Amino acid sequence: MGSSTLAKWIQKNLDEDAKTPGVAKDRKAKDVTNAEEIRQVEQKIAEMEDFAKRARFTAEGLTKHQEQIAALRERLQVLKSESTPASK
């Protein structure tokens, strides 16, 4: 019960994984690591944005805080692009 196309795709990938043992495990480990870092960066961005709502910044301090958030967003974008199926 199921798609023969999907079954062929699964079998093809199983065969490839069998030819190069360890590669699939490396991919999984990287995906888990990326997922955890994505979660941490998203949480840090949320915390910093929440703090910015309550804080009284100087103009210089606000600029620095916004730059830090922007840098985190760039990192998040990189992490998300690395974890897409197209990059595997």
**Taking residues 61-88, what's their average pLDDT?**
85
pLDDT of residue 88: 44
Instruction: Identify the helix (H) or strand (E) that includes residue 3.
Output: none
Residue 64 contacts residue 3 (beta carbons within 8 Å): no
Instruction: Identify the helix (H) or strand (E) that includes residue 44.
Output: helix 23-54
Where are the domains positioned within the chain?
A: 4-87
Task: Give the highest mean pLDDT range of 22-26, 67-71, 77-81.
Answer: 67-71
Residue 67 contacts residue 15 (beta carbons within 8 Å): no
pLDDT of residue 70: 96
pLDDT digits (tens, 9 = 90+) for 11-66: 887 787 777 766 656 666 666 788 899 999 999 999 999 999 999 999 999 999 99
pLDDT of residue 46: 97
